[in-house]
Amino acid sequence: MFFLYNITYNIEEQIHDQWLQWVQEHHIPDVLKNTPFVGAKLIKVLMDEDMGGVTYSIQYQAANRAMLDIFLYESKFNIFGDMLKMFPNQFVSFSTELEMVQEFVKE
């Protein structure tokens, strides 16, 4: 089993393209390089938001709970600094810690 650290972002439409390119080329690779995460998924939310904007989820995968705890206590706030500098007051986010209980695959 593995653990996920999910961050959901709602991005203002006028910075969407710039934010998406920066996240793909810089942010996610930097997070993977500087944290104990072993992988990441960038997911676009397809529902329209009442508040407008475009919504994405980034799911970072940790091999075990200990690795997630290392991130939470040592690295969590360091990964947001550059995004806050690049896109001040142009996004909102919230995070969720998840544990994979069981995965089902169609046979």
HEC profile for 41-62? EEEECCCCCCCCCEEEEEEEEE
pLDDT of residue 28: 96
- Rounded to two decimals, what is the model's pTM? 0.89
Q: Which residues of 50-83 are buried (b: 16+ CB within 10 A; e: fewer)?
A: eeebbbbbbbbbbeeeebbebbeeeeeeebeeeb
Query: CATH code at 59?
Result: 3.30.70.100
Q: Residue 107 falls within a domain, yes or no?
A: no
Q: Residue 29 falls within a domain, yes or no?
A: yes
- Strand partners of residue 57: 8, 43
Decide if 53 contacts 12 (C-beta within 8 A).
yes
Nearest one of 81, 75, 87, 90 to 22, comparing CA atoms: 87
Q: Residue 105 falls within a domain, yes or no?
A: no
Q: Residue 104 falls within a domain, yes or no?
A: no
Q: Residue 32 falls within a domain, yes or no?
A: yes
Q: What are phi and psi of 61, to 5 degrees?
A: -100, 130
Render each residue's pLDDT in the chain as its tens digit; 107 residues. 789 999 999 999 999 999 999 999 999 999 999 889 999 999 999 987 677 899 999 999 999 999 999 888 887 777 778 899 999 999 999 999 999 999 899 98
Print the domain residue range for 47.
3-99
